[in-house]
Structure 1
Amino acid sequence: MKAAGETTLKKPTLIILIFCCTVLLVGCSEERILERLSLPTLIGYDVNEENTEITTTAVIRQVSPEFESRIEIQSATAPTSKGTRIDTNLKTSRKLMAGQLRVILLSENLAKNGIEGALHTTMMNSEISTSVYLAVVEGDTKDLLEYQFPSIKDIGQHIFSLIDQNVDERLTVSSTVHEVSRDLYSPYKNTVIPIIKRQEESIMIKDVGLFHKGKLVGKLPSKDVFYILLARKDVEQGTLELLLPKDGFDIDDSKQELQIDKLPIAIDSLDSKRSIKIVNSDTPEFDLTIKADCRLLEIHRSVEISKMEDLKKIEEAVNKEIKKELERVIKYGQEVGSDVFGFGDYYFTHTRNPHITEEEWSEKFKNMKVNIKTDIRVLRNGVFE
């Protein structure tokens, strides 16, 4: 029995009511007509020598009512990035909306002075996704973006695709706004960002930049990216090129057109597992173990690989070379004071009552000891099996 005066909405009436509310809510949203908007896909930031003014260069896509798009480059200089946006708006006939932004470029000079300001500005803009890539430009971003590349029609989309596909191939590090801000605001871990440059009539990822407290403090060539990845996380796939010493290999001299000092080798399909253990929390001292399965993709044809013992020799040489390269890359990180490998995070979370400040960890990191053990297995050797 229902109490007196109690009413119950029937299902059809309830559905109609919900539909009407939905229509009203949608109608209250801001109307954004595509052909009335300017859509920046890439923004580059430069600073002057005195670090008092910012130059913003934007790659903007304009869409016509016929859905044909064209690309224009707009640049503005002001004391703040917001001021440059106002100046850019004054030069365009359509309102700027940053929802299609894919890449933010930072000049090398800005990176050396610190990226925290640019990152803070980006994160304050609710239109910008945290999946936007950050990259550093060797030189000024304005010079790169305004250069007339004969084979590049949309430089914004080109740079985005360049970074994105190399991240997928494990040839550079992923540096989205989310990832960079996470590392930047962590007191025990530093960030690493790709560095791009113009190479004659093309654009390439040349290096990766190592940061400390938001400032660029060092560079490593792109060929070292895989060692950074191996040291900081598990890696599912990737390709690695190595130069192995000739000692210990049976070389068929009749197949050598030229004398070689090192044996080039390529391995791929690495499925690596990384584990860290604290041996001594005072020094500190870590055991870093890298286990990986890989496939022999390419090796100099003068090396016989038809027998199992030949593959074992290759395994031993690969393990020694990867261990040596890991030691070199980690040592360089210590020299410039950039812990992009995550030793500090592990130390803080696995040491009882660490009570350690960011400055104290920086000193410990420079003097830490890392015992590296590699267990690399060659499971297949391509078309030879």
Structure 2
Amino acid sequence: MQKFHKSKQIFLSVCSMTMVISAGCVQQKPLEKLGLITTSGYDLEGKNQIKGTAVVQKFDPMTESATKVITSVAKTSKGIRQQANLQSNQKLVTGQLRSVVYSRELAKKGIIQLVDTLNRDSGIGNMVYLTIADKSASEIMEIETNNKGRLNLGTYMYNLIKQNVEGEQIISPTLHEFNHNYYDIGKDPVLPILKVKNNDVIISGVGLFKGDRLVDELKQGDLFYLKILIDKYKAGTKEMGYTTDQLKKIIIKNENYTKKPIFSKIYVSIDNIQSKTKIELVDKKNLRFRVDVDLDSRVLEMTEALDLGKPASVKFLENKLDTSMKKRIEGLLLRFKELEIDPIGLGNEYEAHLRGKPITQEEWDRKYKDATFDVNVKNTIERTGVID
């Protein structure tokens, strides 16, 4: 028994020495010696050059500012990194990169070259958010300078996008999703557009891509319908506006309510929206798609008193919602077809009916021009006027 304990002690001593030696072989990277790039932006600069702007998180207790903005110009993103390192006393690394901004001008010409660089960098995860600047990326990056280092723009932008994705306001714009939609024949990417407003960064809309080129954008009013077509709603919110004549049948005539409405329209806010959309190819030869949208929701707010205590009145409002949403969805689908873009993935649905036969992008582009759509929307109002 004593021999066994002695052998065990020798074994543990050897293991401990091995661990110490192994730890000494690992390359140490103290945070004080690293500059962590948290967000970066790219703009076209003259002919055949790109301007890169990076917000760098610094861990130097001797400096007042925790962040620094570095701008450099080169022909490639790697060249930009090399030039940026010449302006930093800490080695710049991308392990904490959370978001990337491309200028509108650059996005119109194509961003796949710069996106591919992200794919080839082992230090960058595929959950980095990709965005488009309403004007220039450097304008977005200057917010950090204007706030004198009190704002970590990388963290702010990441949280801005993350909470709007989780709040079901926009489609998730990760590097992984961009790659999937770009390389998948029969679907095109979408990315949020960022805008500077009152020395702050906001999401002003969503950019629509043809491959890797920005071709159009949707403003906030249409983001709801894009989300319905691409993804499911679990708890969304939407405001709908109607003229007095459209809803006069269910307006409560009561002296206790305002005789002169504040707004020229009646606005109805619905929330807790749960949606289910089914897109089906019903005629392969003539490329006709059936789009069925089912929504369950509750009425949260009205700018004028509506009599929703009667089932007939609720049904009346449901029909109004059906008609309005159907018209907007049909308009959106036709707009996509005219732009020859497919953010919905109709090409995937068509290819699924080819029994394993692959389709080229050129073939799908030719077919897509003849596509027609039968849109059906069914709203069900589960609750009215009650707030938990």
TM-score (norm 1): 0.90
Measured after TM superposition, the shift of residue 160 of structure 1 is: 1.6
Checking the alignment, whether the CA contact within 8 Å between 1:109 and 1:139 is kept in structure 2 is yes
Equivalent residue in structure 1 for 2:43, among 46, 66, 71: 46
Fraction of identical pairs, as percent: 30
Consecutive unaligned residues of structure 1, counting only runs of 5 or more, are 1-9
Q: Say yes or no: does 1:312 pair with 2:312.
A: no
Question: Does 1:265 pair with 2:268?
Answer: yes
Measure how far apart 1:29 and its partner are: 2.8
Is 1:231 aligned to 2:229, yes or no?
yes
Which of 142, 161, 164 aligns to 2:162? It is 164
Give 1:265 shift: 1.3
Q: Distance in 2 between matches of 1:307 and 1:68?
A: 64
What CA RMSD, in Å, does the superposition of the two structures yield over aligned residues? 2.5
User: What corresponds to 1:332 in structure 2?
Assistant: 335
Corresponding residue to 1:188 among 164, 186, 189:
186
Residues 354-373 of structure 1: pairs in structure 2 closer than 5 A: 354-373=357-376
Q: Which residue of 1 aligns with 2:87?
A: 91
Structure 1 residues 316 and 81 mapped into 2: Cα distance closer, same or farther (>3 Å)?
Answer: same
Q: Cα deviation per residue 1:104-127 (whole Å; 9 max; x = unaligned)?
A: 000001100101001001111111
- Maintained 8 Å contact 2:300/2:387: no
The alpha carbon displacement at 1:327 in A equals 1.0
Deviation at 1:251, TM superposition (A): 2.4
Whether the aligned pair in 1 keeps the contact of 2:250 and 2:308 (CA below 8 Å) is no
After the TM superposition, which residues 190-229 of structure 1 pair with which residues of structure 2 at under 5 Å, given as runs?
190-229=188-227
The offset of 1:23, in angstroms, is 5.3
Q: What is the alpha-carbon distance in structure 2 between the residues aligned to residue 14 and residue 348 of structure 1?
A: 62
1:155 aligned residue (153, 156, 165): 153
Instruction: Give the secondary-structure state (helix, strand or coil) at the position aligned to 2:324.
Output: helix
Which of 126, 131, 135 is the aligned partner of 2:127?
A: 131
SS at match of 1:91: coil
- The answer to whether the Cα contact below 8 Å between 1:287 and 1:372 also exists between their aligned partners in 2 is yes
Aligned counterpart, 1:345: 348
Q: Matched residues in 2 for 1:202 and 1:286: separation?
A: 42
TM-score by length of structure 2 reads 0.89
**What is residue 96 of structure 2 aligned with on the other side?**
100
Q: Which residue of 2 aligns with 1:28?
A: 25
1:12 and 1:128, CA in 2 relative to 1: closer, same or farther beyond 3 A? same
Counterpart AA for 1:142: S
> Secondary structure at the residue paired with 2:180?
helix
Q: Aligned pairs, how many?
A: 375
Contact residue 181 and residue 187 of structure 2 kept, 8 A: yes
Q: 1:45 deviation in Å? A: 0.6
Match of 1:80 in 2: 76
Residue of structure 1 in register with 2:3 after alignment: none
| Cα distance between partner residues in 2 of 1:49 and 1:91 | 22
Question: Is the contact between residue 171 and residue 223 of structure 1 (CA under 8 Å) also seen in structure 2?
Answer: no
Equivalent residue, structure 2, for 1:321: 324
